[in-house]
Structure 1
Amino acid sequence: MGGTLISAEMLVSCTTKSKDVSDLFKPEQISFLNEVGDTILPTTNTPGAKAANVGEFMAVMVRDCYTPEDQKIFLEGFDKLNKASDEKFDKEFMQLNPKQRTDLLTALDAEQKEHQRTKGPEDPNHYFRMMKELTLLGYFSSEVGATQALRYDPVPGRYDGCMPYKKGDRAWAT
């Protein structure tokens, strides 16, 4: 009886954070992340990462799930990515054409792989690895990624471990 008098929010309050990502990310940073994501997963015969709004997803994940140290590394990644772009092409990332963006992110991916290979337990994470991981997670767990890039069955049937596969088939989301 008393539960009906007390709001559910008071009973289940598990966070005091605002639901708005603008406390950590500016709208132009979310647009930037969408462009980075769309360079990693561009539109082909399926929608790209921008269609799934991975920038917003990344902002929420960084705000809610990352440690303050990793948040700092991620946020500093904007400047580092623009600096790498400026050094390679004399332009900021948002001013690059798609081929230049791909070339830049390919180089950053090689850099983060080397960093990961030589990284010690106390070394910080690489900002581009975080961006890439969040892009993939955000895209393939979104409605767009699950239903258009992957095969999706909203009510899957029984499990079949020996399902026939033809080369070129999409992976299953469910």
Structure 2
Amino acid sequence: MNRRDALARVAIIMGGTVIGADYFLTSCSSPAKDKENATTATKQAPAKEEVFLTPDQVNFLDEVGETILPATKTPGAKAAHVGQFMAVMVRDCYEPKDQKVFLQGITQLDADAKKKTGKSFLESSPAERTTFLTALDKEQQAYSATQPKDAPNHYFRMMKQLTLLGYFTSEVGATQALRYLPVPGRYDGCVPYKKGDKAWATT
């Protein structure tokens, strides 16, 4: 599955545009990354790469992703390392304003979980996590539907989009959750489909 097809599928699932899509399609050359590269290029020795998210934050995002796409008969989002995927994509592909919202969202999500359940997100049971994120998803959908043009994006919309994009473009997502044919053969314009068949990762 190429990058453009993956973004189109995520947009269909989410019912709207994918945040950062313009930069995903141009090799993730965001204004923040361009500025960083320009600064680094003027130095004689490259600086040590700054850690955008801590290991604990990456682990937290893995758990959020796993709640969105849990393991069933196929591996879940954690097996695809979506937390690390989010860290790279937000750092390299999001505009500074969206990076700020995303980072604040990690703290906000955990704080809201404590208000709802009396426990942190990681301390909550799988059922409690699912109930909480389902309500949060409804909140972001309502917000996004009436979002003014210049208003910040909802942090959970970013997390959900990146979970879907990271999972279905990963090896486990493409080869186990979807049907994958490394070297496609002839073109078949009409393939029989029966209910329950996996979608194709390759076309």
Q: Residue 188 of structure 2 aligns to a residue in which SS?
A: coil
Structure 1 pair 133/25, CA: closer, same or farther in 2 (3 Å)?
same
Find out whether 1:154 has 2:182 as its counterpart: yes
Aligned equivalents of 1:76 and 1:172: distance in 2? 36
Which residue matches 1:30?
58
Q: 2:120 aligns with which of 73, 92, 96?
A: 92
Structure 1 pair 18/111, CA: closer, same or farther in 2 (3 Å)?
farther
One-letter amino acid of the counterpart of residue 166, structure 2: G
Instruction: Note the 1:73-84 alignment, pairs <5 A.
Output: 73-84=101-112
Q: CA deviation at 1:148?
A: 0.4
Overall identity of the aligned pairs, in %: 63
Which residue matches 2:89?
61
Q: Residue 87 of structure 2 aligns to a residue in which SS?
A: helix
Q: CA deviation at 1:157?
A: 1.3
Q: CA deviation at 1:19?
A: 9.0
Which residue matches 2:13?
none
Show CA shifts across 1:99-123 (max 9, x none). 0000010010000000011101111
Q: CA deviation at 1:158?
A: 2.2
Aligned equivalents of 2:187 and 2:158: distance in 1? 33
Aligned equivalents of 2:61 and 2:114: distance in 1? 17
Find out whether 1:172 has 2:171 as its counterpart: no
Q: CA deviation at 1:83?
A: 1.4
**Gaps in structure 1 of 5+ consecutive residues:** 1-13
Q: Residue 99 of structure 1 aligns to a residue in which SS?
A: helix
CA RMSD of aligned residues (A): 1.6
Which residue matches 1:112?
140
TM-score (norm 2): 0.76
Q: Which protein has the larger Cα radius of gyration, Structure 1 or Structure 2?
A: 1
Q: Residue 165 of structure 2 aligns to a residue in which SS?
A: helix
**Gaps in structure 2 of 5+ consecutive residues:** 1-33, 41-45
Q: Residue 78 of structure 1 aligns to a residue in which SS?
A: helix
